[in-house]
Amino acid sequence: MVHAAATSNLNLNLSPIDVVLIVIYFSFVLGIGFALKRGVKSSLDFFLAGRSLPAWVTGIGFISANIGAVELLGQSASGAQYGAAMVHYFWIGAIPAMVFLGIVMMPFYYGSKVRSVPEYLRLRFDPKAHLINAVTFVLGSILIAGVNLYALAIVLEALLGIPLLLAIVLSATFVLSYILLGGLTSAIYNEVMQFFVIMIGMVPLTIIALKESGGLGRLFHTLEAEHGTAFIHPWAGTGMAALVLLPGIGSGGDNLEYNQAIPALMAKYLPQGVLGVAVTGLLAAFMAGMAANVSSFNAVFTYDLWQDYLRPGRPDRYYLTVGRWATVGGVGLAVATALIASSFSNISNYLQTLFSFFNVPLFCAFIIGMFWPRASRSAGFWGILTGTLTAVTVYALYKQDVLTFRSDLQETMWGSISAFAVGAVSMVIVSLIEHPKTTEELHGLVYGMEIKDRSEVAKHPWYRSPVVLGLGVLGLNAALYVAVYAV
């Protein structure tokens, strides 16, 4: 047995076969990067994969990028800390939002040929909206990349028994290597492989955790007796099972933190061989999440900041070089932000705070600009600025005990609501003062005026329609929610 006596309270004991599986996986990851290196000949190849990847590849890559630290470590940590209500962030929140993205918002990307969200905001509003969003997007991407990097380092620390800082640096170096080699193409193809590894590793863990808890019904009963009815309403899962199977988690002292719920369950219940697959799946998830954040960072930094404001009109090869250096710099900054994430016992709380700062004001500007043609040129800038300042102010007042909330989680909810409300009101006020853009200026940028991509114009069988597929996903989502809730 290979024993890893980590500096934390979490230890993972790996057999030789577990180690072999992990080494094979890392070899494949680097191999994909080297194999795709020759195909990166332009900035379009590096940042946007040449816009040539098959739909099934990009689809699986998108799903894999959304099974990172927040989903595995963060949601399980919040399940153990807050209970069943956390399921609403993804089951009721994220899944319908992704369907909305695919059916309504993606046509604007394909039709207008924009390369990023900031670029869309520049076309829809003005350069001020483009600049402020590019800055906040770059900052948010690096902070969230740090969360995935910290999560990856937690596992390496438990595996190798090395200090957390060294684990963070090693993790960052590995992810940097395969992004530099193959750009976004390498990141996406690795995410496809990582998706299947994640499923193979995490599904058995969920089944074993529920089985060891005595089944879903027994888990409900135990948690209800210990924490009250509200804690189990309306769902249970691996994160909640951690409370039963890992006594004392999150209680401080020598016990485990909430962030360690999933790795600790793996160490306690998975047999040799299966543990190696599960650990590999966990590492794959965090690398996929970090790679997605770093890839978006280097694209926005290079296209929307460097090219548009600092060094315009340079040859394409120049921007490819800038993009590679931006990747190095982004990973370096992620190391610093990983140390910020390490100060939170529940990284989901930290992530929800970041989302209230950066995502909510952006969503406010994007959705109003897309569906309200009257929104004027300056509205986007003021919506993002006032929304971000509002969220930051609510958080600062909460930390200074000026505002009181039941938990950090509740603060992020009210911070998000306040940010959206203030941003929306600001956009309306500015739009009523200024003249709106002309119909010609809004062509392809507002709902009802979008430019149809050739792939949309082509006839497909009804069962391949995005609308039909999206409604099917929503129906299945609702049916599973009702079925589990009925238990």
Chain segment 339-397, per-residue pLDDT in tens: 888 887 777 788 889 989 999 999 999 899 989 999 999 999 999 999 999 999 999 99
**Average pLDDT of the residues in 236-247:** 49
Residue 233: its pLDDT value, please?
62
CA distances from 236 to 94, 206, 224, 231, 259 (A): 18, 11, 11, 9, 17
The half-sphere exposure of 320 on its side-chain side, counting CA atoms within 13 A, is: 15
CA distance 156 to 286: 11
3-class secondary structure, 3: strand
pLDDT-based confidence at residue 425 (cuts at 50, 70, 90): very high
Helices (H) and strands (E) in the chain, counts: 22, 2
The CA–CA distances, whole Å, from 222 to 77, 152, 214, 216, 297 equal 18, 32, 9, 10, 44
Report how far residue 158's alpha carbon sits from residue 169's, in angstroms, rounded to the nearest whole number.
15
How confident is the model over 145-194, as pLDDT tens digits? Answer: 888 788 778 777 776 677 778 878 887 887 787 677 666 566 666 667 77
Which pLDDT score is estimated for 7?
Answer: 42
Domain ranges for the chain:
2-345+463-486, 354-451
More confident residue, 23 or 40: 23
What would the pLDDT profile of 44-83 be if each residue is shown by its tens digit? 555 554 455 666 676 776 676 666 656 777 777 777 777 7
The domain 2-345+463-486 is classified under which CATH number: 1.10.3720.10, 1.20.1730.10, 3.30.1050.10, 1.10.357.10?
1.20.1730.10
- Name the residue with higher pLDDT: 44 or 404: 404
Mean pLDDT (whole number) for 414-440: 94
Of 46-55, 73-82, 274-283, 412-421, the least confident: 46-55
- In this predicted structure, what is the pLDDT of residue 360? 93
Least confident of 3-12, 263-272, 326-335, 383-392: 3-12
The segment with the largest mean pLDDT, out of 126-130, 305-309, 462-466, is 126-130
pLDDT of residue 231: 67
Nearest-angstrom CA–CA distance, 327 and 331: 6
pTM: 0.74
For residues 236-241, average pLDDT: 47
Place of tokens 């500015």: 430
Q: Which of 9-23, 112-126, 243-257, 406-420 has the lowest mean pLDDT?
A: 243-257
Is residue 396 packed enough to be buried (19+ CB in 10 Å), middle (13-18) or exposed (0-12)? Answer: exposed
Amino acid identity, position 45? D
pLDDT confidence of residue 125:
94
Q: Residue 427: which pLDDT band, with cuts at 50, 70 and 90?
A: very high
Angle at 44 between CA 40 and CA 45, to 5 degrees: 25
Q: Which residue type occupies 341? A: A
pLDDT averaged over every residue in the chain: 77
Q: Which of 51-65, 91-105, 256-270 has the lowest mean pLDDT?
A: 51-65
Phi, psi of 3 (to 5 degrees): -100, 130
DSSP for residue 125: S
Residue 421 has pLDDT above 90, yes or no: yes
Cβ neighbours, 10 Å, residue 169: 18
Structure tokens at 170: 């090693």
Checking if the pLDDT of 311 tops 60, the result is yes
Contact of 17 with 276, CB cutoff 8 Å: yes
DSSP string, 224-288: HHHH-GGGGSS---HHHHHHHHSTTTTSSTTSPPGGGHHHHHHHHHPPTTHHHHHHHHHHHHHHH
Hey, is 75 helix, strand or coil? helix
C-alpha 256/C-alpha 240 separation (Å) is 15
What Rg value do the Cα atoms of the chain yield, rounded? 23
